Amino acid sequence: MSKADTSKPAVSLSCAVLTISDTRDTNNDTSGDYLVESVIAAGHRCEKRGISQGNLYEIRKVISDWIADDAIQIILTNGGTGFTHQKSTAEAIIPLLDLTIAGFGELFRQLSYLEIGTSALQSDAFAGSANNTLIFCMPGSTNACKTAWEKIIKEQLDSTHRPCNFGTHYA
């Protein structure tokens, strides 16, 4: 489905990855590992990486710091978007956004529905931007991260993807 315009060179973007989980650490953060590896394989750079235990204010601090950092263009978060009492990603990040990208969450749930059925409705995946930083928030499972990256984010960060992409806007 990707229609690349190869007449222009691809743009490499500076990314940051935040895992939001009470159970993950540097030894078992498979979703964070997957996202970092995917960012690099796509020709972008992973400038920062972190793990937050899900405290609303800790998440806001990390994301706020990254939003304020002119070197970070893209933030990918995983975790804290499901239907549980520990869900804190949306509550932490949405107030920081200047603009929301409603289509990301809608498309993610549509694609998830094809994979996991009606359980997809329990995901609060969302995206937006703040201070010229694009932010994608997805569920914490590695399979959900693969769905989001492979079927949406990878193409949208590819500056050669046509008819449109986010890569050219955030370069």
pLDDT recorded at residue 83 = 54
pLDDT recorded at residue 169 = 78
Structure tokens at 48: 């920062």
Return the CATH number at 165. Answer: 3.40.980.10
- State how far the Cα of 82 lies from the Cα of 2, in Å rounded to an integer: 30
Within 8 A by CB and 6+ apart from 35, the residues are 17, 76, 78, 145, 149
Q: Which helix (H) or strand (E) holds 68?
A: helix 56-68
Say how many domains are in the chain.
1
User: Is the entire prediction scored with pTM above 0.75?
Assistant: yes
pLDDT recorded at residue 109 = 86
Task: Give me the domain span that covers residue 86.
Answer: 3-170
63 touches 79 (CB < 8 A): no
Within 8 A by CB and 6+ apart from 167, the residues are 10, 11, 13, 156, 157, 158, 159, 160, 161
| pLDDT per 10-residue tile (average), the chain, 171 residues | 71 96 88 97 97 90 97 93 66 95 91 79 87 95 94 94 85 66
pLDDT recorded at residue 30 = 95
